[in-house]
Amino acid sequence: MASSASNLEVSRFTSFSKPSRSVSPTGSTVSFSSFSAGNQIKSIKITNVGVGSFVEDSDNKLPLKFAEEYRDLRVSTGDLVLALTRTVISAGLKVAIVPDSYNSALLNQRVAAILPNNRLISSIFLYYYFRSKYVNKYVLSNVNTLMQPNLSIKDLKKMPIPFPSLKRQEEIVTNLDSLFDKRHHLQTMLENSQLHNLKSSILDAAFKGKL
């Protein structure tokens, strides 16, 4: 999955909805404290939500009894999770897709889940939308910056969501995947070239007695 924001042209879409129709945002106000690597139920903390990536760990597990007690905070593979504190940092928006390994995990405090209605919108398209400049701008205009930047569930629920046809969504995702694959390939080539040049410089300096 691409780690950099996509330049999705939101203005080109004619169909928008409030999240209640195409997606269902939900957030947790529960701050769990019974974490242990020996427990059975995984939890998603704010530290698990990176900029375009999900950060896995082995310590955020809760007792089995929490699975039923907090079933309303359960997320599924393919749902999006969003950090509600410091939502936007210099690297971008802290949003990620829930991986298979965290299916049925419970949301911890200050983490929101965006649950796509698969009849209207695909999770990958939704992910790319949340990585767009439009969402970044929307979040920046709505975060509370009095102390530390916080986004409320209320403002998240107000954010319009585009939903072109599923066929069109698939085309957009395919095009973006292709573009990001090419970008990653070019970045790898550049890094390898720079590494080669660095090694050559070090060897040159060593043979000249400059090290």
Q: What is the pLDDT of residues 125-182, one digit of tens each?
A: 999 999 888 898 999 898 876 667 788 888 888 888 887 889 999 998 888 888 877 7
Burial of 130 (0-12, 13-18, 19+ CB in 10 A): buried
pTM score, whole prediction: 0.74
Q: What is the pLDDT of residue 10?
A: 39
Phi, psi of 191 (to 5 degrees): -65, -40
- Going by C-alpha positions, the residue among 176, 167, 157 that lies closest to residue 122 is 167
DSSP H stretches of helix in 28-95: 66-69
Q: Which amino acid is residue 112, in one-letter code?
A: A
Which stretches of the chain score pLDDT less than 70? 1-24, 28-31, 145-147, 185-186, 189-192, 194-211
Neighbours of 121 (CB within 10 A): 21
